[in-house]
Chains A and B, each alone.
Chain A
Amino acid sequence: MQNIVIGGSAGSFQTVTAILSSIPRNYPHAIFLCLHRLKNVRGGFVEALSLKSNVPICEPYDKDSVMPGIAYLAPANYHMYVDANNQFSLSTEEPINHSRPSIDVTFCSIAKTFKSNAIGILLSGANKDGAVGLKAIKDAGGTVIVQHPDECQVKTMTTAAIKITEVDHIMFTNNIIDYLKNLK
């Protein structure tokens, strides 16, 4: 089983829904979503993502176990970690890069826990969150993909990542989808 972690902020919602509606049902891998949301918009996000998704979307409870075929969304106002025993762990530590959930936090923990079985994907966004985390995944032996800055509504996040990491792929949404569909 591979562990795919997707980080996104401003301008990433459509790409995320495109991915979730294109991957096959009964997907054999686990998906983790760490997406910035507007402050105070705490509800409704799971529902919005679920509308077209082929896999169930779930905001995990603390210490839930990771299962394949589910897309886990970092809950509003919590950082989301995955511990070595494949359990989620949540925290309300101060925001990092002005963000809670922070993409760096989730990416770094996925890197440590899943090492070469981690795939990090960073999408459109307006701050630098995620760059350090993506590097951590790469350094731990995982695969890292960045959405093509030309396709990003806001390219701050993706260019920040490309600057500090030699990423494996810079891809448009369609290619990301093909990549995930064919993932063994």
Chain B
Amino acid sequence: MFEDPDILTFIRTLRDYAGYDFSNYSEKSFLRRAEKIMMDYKLDIHGLISKVKSDRLFLEKVVKDITVNTTELFRDPQVWHAIKYRILPRLASKREINIWHAGCSTGLEVYSMIILLNEMGMLHRCHIYATDLNTDVLNTAKAGVYSYRSISEFLENFNKVLCENPYNFDEHLVVTHEKYFDINKVKDTFKIKPEFLDKAVFKKHDLVTEPNPFDVAYDIILCRNVLIYFNTILQNKLFIDFWNYLDPFGSLVLGIHESIIGPPSAKYEKKGLIYNKKVF
């Protein structure tokens, strides 16, 4: 919980002027972001507060700067193996599958999912929804254009997830990068192929203040490395929200160092890296 009166005023201003609520964000990482913003714009906390009050565009920029947007293609291959071998097979007989990436950043996690589903022959039955608070990252996600240099280190994980089977070391598939990406090393571009661009719906959404952004029940919700920026109170609220938004047999996928520890843990059954919705 924040104690510094100036920080509290700053947070209250963002809420009163634009409806964002950072009051239950993780203290230390939020303060570090705020300090960085003040340094970058050469403002002290009072200057920062008065500028967000008088300049709405600046306020929106500050909100974007507060968010941490690091993301990767096929981040943590063991999670993708769990999705591939533990979750998706259970959904094999469903006619329609709803998947929500909450806090999708620039979309690399979303395209990882699209690629995996395509390889498993399930893509045509899936509705893929992706949301984030930050509209800049959503625009990047929609365009599907990245810098090759920033992506190249993740291609090893692409191979690990798509070509190797941890349960059967003899299995080895070949999936080329060209199938999914247009890569130009000279121009340093890495583009998602057009036929995979329109498979997901991207939408601005605030997990803290808004209800379910789409009128569906999800088979899978991925919310990875988003809740680490929230305190326990807010995390627990979201675990309940997600429970309400999940289909009775739905699964929640968190980041590799995130877990449900408070009271909402009774509402989920943990299977390895996956939380399955418990229905009483």
Q: Which residues of A contact B (CB under 8 A)?
A: 39-40, 59-64, 75, 78-79, 81-84, 87, 89-94, 105, 109, 112
Contact = CB atoms under 8 A, between A and B. Distances in A.
B257 to A, nearest CB: 5
Contacts of A62: 227-228, 255, 257-259
A78 B70 contact: no
7 contacts: A40-B156, A60-B257, A62-B257, A82-B28, A89-B27, A90-B228, A90-B257
B68 A61 contact: no
Contacts of A64: 261
A64 B29 CA distance: 16
A109 B257 contact: no
Nearest to A113: B28
A109 B32 CA distance: 10
A92 B70 contact: yes
A59 B257 contact: yes
A91 B259 contact: no
Given A60-B257, A78-B257, A92 B225 contact: yes
Nearest to B225: A92
B26 A89 contact: yes
Contacts of A87: 232
A173 B188 CA distance: 47
Given A83-B28, A90-B228, A93-B29, 20 more contacts: A39-B153, A40-B153, A61-B258, A62-B227, A62-B255, A75-B256, A75-B257, A78-B228, A78-B257, A81-B26, A83-B26, A89-B28, A90-B257, A91-B26, A91-B32, A91-B229, A92-B68, A92-B225, A93-B32, A109-B28
B235 interface: yes
Nearest to A63: B232
B91 to A, nearest CB: 27
Nearest to A64: B261
A153 to B, nearest CB: 27
Nearest to B2: A84
Interface residues of B, number: 23
Contacts of B258: 61-62
Given A63-B235, A89-B228, A92-B225, A81 B70 contact: no
B62 to A, nearest CB: 16
Contacts of B257: 59-62, 75, 78, 90
Closest 4 CB pairs of A and B: A81-B28, A91-B29, A92-B70, A62-B228
A93 B68 contact: yes
Interface in B209-249: 225, 227-229, 231-232, 235
A93 B228 contact: no
A141 to B, nearest CB: 18
B164 to A, nearest CB: 15
Contact of B228 (A40, A82, A91): A91
Contacts of B33: 93
A79 B27 CA distance: 14
Contacts of A59: 257
Nearest to B3: A84
A61 B156 contact: no
Contacts of B256: 75
A81 B261 contact: no
B32 to A, nearest CB: 7
A181 B68 CA distance: 40
A82 B32 CA distance: 13
Contacts of B68: 91-93
Contacts of B26: 81, 83, 89, 91
A83 B257 CA distance: 16
B259 A89 contact: no
B261 A63 contact: yes
B259 A112 contact: no
B70 to A, nearest CB: 4
Contacts of A78: 228, 257
B108 to A, nearest CB: 13
A109 B27 CA distance: 10
A92 B109 CA distance: 15
A83 B233 CA distance: 14
Interface string B89-126: 00000000000000000000000000000000000000
Contacts of A75: 256-257
A2 to B, nearest CB: 20
